[in-house]
Amino acid sequence: MECAVYDTYVTKKDGKIMHFDVVVEASTSHEKAIEYGKSYLEQVGQGDQTMTQEECQFCHVQEAPPIVDKEIREKGYYIQKMEGCL
């Protein structure tokens, strides 16, 4: 599966930065990718934090590795946690 990667930086409640990628099927809209990112923020207790196109920017398209492909097919998105994630 071709997937789109959205590079995301969100300021947490404590003022520190969370850096993660929202990975979705390539034809998924940017707005939907932001919705998925907001869902992840809710799951980790950061649901009130700002996440717009400014915080979540399209980065590139790539072939999804098997684990990413599986999760996208099951729930619509995959979160690649990088820095400051809970």
CB 13 within 8 A of CB 46: yes
Angle, vertex CA 71, rays to CA 65 and CA 76, nearest 5: 115
Identify the CATH number of the domain defined by range 2-83: 3.10.510.10
Give the containing element (helix H, strand E) for 23. strand 17-25
pTM of this prediction?
Answer: 0.94
Length of the chain: 86
Per the CB < 8 A criterion, the answer to whether 27 and 42 are in contact is no
Q: Which pLDDT tens digit goes with each residue over 31-63?
A: 999 999 999 999 999 999 999 999 999 999 999
Domain ranges for the chain, please list them: 2-83
Average pLDDT, the chain: 96
